[in-house]
């Protein structure tokens, strides 16, 4: 069950005045996909970017684009993100709308469907969806900002999910760095999202390699 670890840099900590260079630098440094944190200022206190930026990134990188929607109404915007070129999209189970219809819309369009839960949401609530989704994203910080402290309560949650759905891809997002990554990999996570650790590193190639776990 030792599957390949995928490293997913979140551009939230990139330098937006030279986004192209920053994206190409993590692509060259070995990233497996790009994590795009979309925030509406309503579901979370912060506002980031929307489909316009996703569409622009699609033109400059070959990396698969994985959107993390921190928005109240994912149903309303899902088609736009699909059209913008996302390969995968995850939305919060704490947001509004019928999760199954959103998941179905994505998969019908060839997009991988993910659900996200916050640190204070138990994994029990995702049980009815585990057979339908392509991946589960577990938050290890409260969403809204990069560079927050890792919340270790995510570890037992990863383990629980791996018992319920051993084959499911499990992503972890928030506070992942060289001090915290081994514990999430050991628990069973195989998609590692990281913003500040990668983008603040002077050696992004090393940072990405380190996030694949101790070799
Ligand atoms: C938080 C975002 C995360 C965040 C991670 O709302 O969903 O993807 O950018 O940032 P770090 O890795 O710095 O904790
Ligand atoms: Zn995220």
Residue 146 Cα to chain centre, angstroms: 12
21 inside domain = yes
The Å distance, Cα 128 to ligand 2 centre, comes to 23
* Bridge partner list, 139: 173
Give the chain's domain count. Answer: 1
The Å distance, Cα 105 to ligand 1 centre, comes to 26
To the query of whether residue 182 is one of the catalytic residues in this protein, the response is no
13 lines ligand 1 (CB under 6 A): yes
Q: Which domain holds residue 182?
A: 6-210
Q: Which residues contact 52 (CB under 8 A, 6 or more apart)?
A: 84
1 inside domain = no
81 inside domain = yes
Residue 200's domain is classified under what CATH number? 3.20.20.70
Joined together, the tokens standing for residue 203 give 């050696």
Take atom 7 of ligand 1 and give the residue whose Cα is closest.
143
82 lines ligand 1 (CB under 6 A): no
Which atom of ligand 1 is closest in space to residue 46's alpha carbon? 6
* Bridge partner list, 92: 116
Which atom of ligand 1 is closest in space to residue 175's alpha carbon? 14
| Cα(103)–Cα(214) distance, integer angstroms | 34
Write the pLDDT tens digit of every residue in 117-170.
Answer: 999 999 999 999 999 999 999 999 999 999 999 999 999 999 999 999 999 999
92 lines ligand 1 (CB under 6 A): no
* Per-residue pLDDT in tens (0 to 9) along the chain, 215 residues: 568 999 999 999 999 999 999 999 999 999 999 999 999 999 999 999 999 999 999 999 999 999 999 999 999 999 999 999 999 999 999 999 999 999 999 999 999 999 999 999 999 999 999 999 999 999 999 999 999 999 999 999 999 999 999 999 999 999 999 999 999 999 999 999 999 999 999 999 999 999 999 87
111 inside domain = yes
To the query of whether residue 37 is one of the catalytic residues in this protein, the response is yes
Joined together, the tokens standing for residue 207 give 């940072």
106 inside domain = yes
**Is the separation of the CB atoms in 112 and 157 below 8 Å?**
no
Report pTM.
0.98
143 inside domain = yes
The Å distance, Cα 36 to ligand 2 centre, comes to 7
Q: Which residues contact 158 (CB under 8 A, 6 or more apart)?
A: 138, 170, 172, 184, 187, 188, 189
| Cα(128)–Cα(101) distance, integer angstroms | 14
User: What pLDDT does 2 receive?
Assistant: 64
129 inside domain = yes
48 inside domain = yes
Which residue is it, tokens 């090393």? Answer: 206
Q: Length of the chain, please? A: 215
């Amino acid at each position: 069950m030792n599957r390949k670890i995928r490293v997913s840099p979140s551009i939230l900590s990139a330098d937006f005045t030279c986004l192209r260079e920053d994206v190409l630098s993590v692509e060259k440094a070995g990233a497996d996909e790009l994590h795009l944190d979309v925030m509406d200022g309503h579901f979370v206190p912060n506002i980031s970017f929307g489909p316009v930026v996703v569409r622009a990134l699609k033109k400059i990188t070959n990396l698969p684009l994985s959107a993390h929607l921190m928005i109240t109404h994912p149903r309303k915007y899902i088609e736009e993100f699909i059209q913008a070129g996302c390969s995968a999209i995850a939305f919060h189970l704490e947001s509004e709308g019928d999760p199954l219809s959103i998941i179905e819309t994505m998969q019908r369009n060839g997009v991988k469907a993910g659900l996200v839960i916050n640190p204070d949401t138990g994994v029990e609530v995702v049980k009815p969806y585990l057979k339908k989704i392509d991946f589960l994203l577990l938050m290890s910080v409260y969403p809204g900002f990069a560079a927050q402290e890792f919340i270790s309560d995510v570890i037992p949650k990863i383990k629980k999910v791996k018992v319920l759905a051993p084959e499911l891809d499990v992503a972890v997002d928030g506070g992942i760095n060289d001090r915290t990554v081994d514990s999430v990999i050991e628990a069973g996570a195989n998609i590692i999202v990281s913003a500040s650790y990668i983008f603040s590193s002077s050696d992004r190639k090393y940072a990405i390699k380190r996030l694949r776990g101790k070799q």
